[in-house]
A and B are shown apart, each in its own frame.
Chain A
Amino acid sequence: MIKAVYSKGKLVAKTGNEVMAEAMRQIEPDVVAAYPITPATEIVQIFSQFVADGIVKSKYVAVESEHSAMSATIAACAAGARAMTGTSSQGLCLMWEMLYIASGLRLPIVMAEVNRAISAPINIHGDQSDTMGARDSGWIQIYSENSQEAYDNMIQAVKIAEKAKLPTMVTTDGFIISHCMEVVELYPDQDVKEFVGEYKPERYLLDTKKPYTLGSVDLQDYYFEHRYQLAQAMRDAKNIILDVAKDFEHSFGRKYDLYEKYQLEDAEIVVVVIGSAAGTAKVVVDELRAKDVKAGILKIRVFRPFPVEQIVKDLAHVKAIAVMDRADSCSGAYAPLYSDIISSLYSAGIVTPKVENYVYGLGGREINIEHIMQIYDNLRKIASGLQKPSSQVEYVNVRKK
């Protein structure tokens, strides 16, 4: 249950989509270009009403596809506007080409993304296959456990994107967060506006005094350097995200990090998880802790850039880890989060924790307390040497013989 932490805050009951639209209203970008898609439609639908009612000064472009949504957002941002969009699933897929261009051109776009399964078969429910697929697109990715985080992340994303010169997507789990009514603490408009400040790009296309070309052809002699710049910007973004989190805590009282540590300090068995399932896992950990089981959670908030150096310090002491992925990579190997956790540990020379990979919740498949309890039970056996860790991906709650 969310409690008020900010003296001027106001507790309201809102869905994830509603709070994302609220954040956009308060940020009041110059341009929003978007296309409807379940379950993200509401965000831009609510926002268009703000535009229609003159509540925001923003211009809304009701484009004819997500490809054009991202193209127009990129262009508006390059032109000098603070520009935002929102999408999900197939919409993100259609944007694919443009995602890489947004980051390659170093444009600080902010996107509200609602995680949804990818076709085929078509499915409108929540899993993280869409944004996980975009993990190498050069976008900062911030995942939210609940509506409060979604709201706070959106506000921080504007500052992060503009400081890092990197596009940033803030995600919520489809339906689980996007459509569930929760209590959220909203901050006053003026305070949010002060926090995000005015967008002042160094170079922008509408600056007729200093015309330039953006989006030129790089041949063998320059492409690599530009891509290096992008990769480095992503590495540098970790400190920017932490700085913005500090500012945010100072302004509104809520504390954020690259990831959240829940009972992690002395934990022997740990679940690493992203998004709304962390909330369920916390209930399980509380139960286990009541029985003196040293269980903990590492909840990834920022998946891109991946907090390699930080994570290894917090996982080095752990005996057994379950990495829970709400996306499969269909790679014949492991799912995305697992791969990054393993490479982080191994590259730091930490090989003591036994690490398993669980894929769960595809297409909105339920993940409940019992499922996560079972995972911790497995971890307990592995930690005490009673069971060997599985060397392959384990699938949670899928029917098979």
Chain B
Amino acid sequence: MKKEENRKLTVQELPVGDIVEAGTAVNFLTGSWRSQRLVWDKDKCIHCLTCWISCPDNSIKIAPDEKKTAVVTGIDYDHCKGCGICASECPVKIGAITMEQEKK
């Protein structure tokens, strides 16, 4: 984050009454919490989206493909906390997500 963004607002700058604009938590990065790093195998993935719906941290990136069907496109490592739910929910026969030790 840039220094300016980190600057705390003064009494005069703060909105009145504790208002926070929607969705600003995307600017708060929780990726550093990880001790386990998920590894997504694009080739094994069948894009069933089970990992996407199961993620508590909205960290499975999806986007429509050319047929306008949603597919997994990657992992949001800025927010993923490495809980491993995606790996445990990924269908056993597929095994497209594995967890490994996070490198510091």
Going nearest first, the 6 A-B pairs with the smallest beta carbon separation are: A106-B17, A211-B22, A213-B20, A105-B17, A225-B11, A216-B20
Hey, which bits of chain B sit against chain A, CB under 8 A?
8-11, 14, 16-22
User: Measured between alpha carbons, how far is A215 from B18 in the docked complex, in Å?
Assistant: 6
Residues on the A chain within 8 Å of B20, using CB: 212-214, 216
- CB pair A107–B22 under 8 Å, yes or no, is no
- Given A221-B8, A222-B8, answer yes or no on A203-B19 (Cβ-Cβ < 8 Å): yes
- Which of B10, B16, B20 lies at the interface centre, i.e. has the most chain A CB atoms within 10 A of its CB? B16
- Given A225-B10, A228-B11, A232-B11, answer yes or no on A212-B21 (Cβ-Cβ < 8 Å): yes
- CB pair B18–A214 under 8 Å, yes or no, is yes
* Interface presence of A104 (CB below 8 A): yes
Contact of A105 among B18, B21, B22 (CB under 8 A): B18
- Given A221-B8, A222-B8, answer yes or no on A229-B22 (Cβ-Cβ < 8 Å): no
Looking at the assembled complex, report how far the CB atom of A233 sits from the nearest CB atom of chain B, in whole angstroms: 8
Dominant secondary structure at the B interface = loop
- Given A221-B8, A222-B8, answer yes or no on A213-B14 (Cβ-Cβ < 8 Å): no
User: Measured between alpha carbons, how far is A213 from B19 in the docked complex, in Å?
Assistant: 6
Hey, which bits of chain A sit against chain B, CB under 8 A?
104-107, 165, 203, 211-216, 218, 221-222, 225-226, 228-229, 232-233
Looking at the assembled complex, report how far the CB atom of A155 sits from the nearest CB atom of chain B, in whole angstroms: 25
Looking at the assembled complex, report how far the CB atom of B9 sits from the nearest CB atom of chain A, in whole angstroms: 7
User: Measured between alpha carbons, how far is A104 from B16 in the docked complex, in Å?
Assistant: 9
- CB pair B19–A214 under 8 Å, yes or no, is yes
Looking at the assembled complex, report how far the CB atom of B34 sits from the nearest CB atom of chain A, in whole angstroms: 23
Offer 20 A-B interface pairs, CB within 8 angstroms, sorted by A: A105-B17, A105-B18, A106-B17, A165-B16, A203-B19, A211-B22, A212-B21, A212-B22, A213-B19, A214-B18, A214-B20, A218-B18, A221-B8, A222-B9, A225-B10, A225-B11, A226-B14, A226-B17, A229-B14, A233-B16
Looking at the assembled complex, report how far the CB atom of A367 sits from the nearest CB atom of chain B, in whole angstroms: 40
- Which of B8, B11, B21, B22 lies at the interface centre, i.e. has the most chain A CB atoms within 10 A of its CB? B11
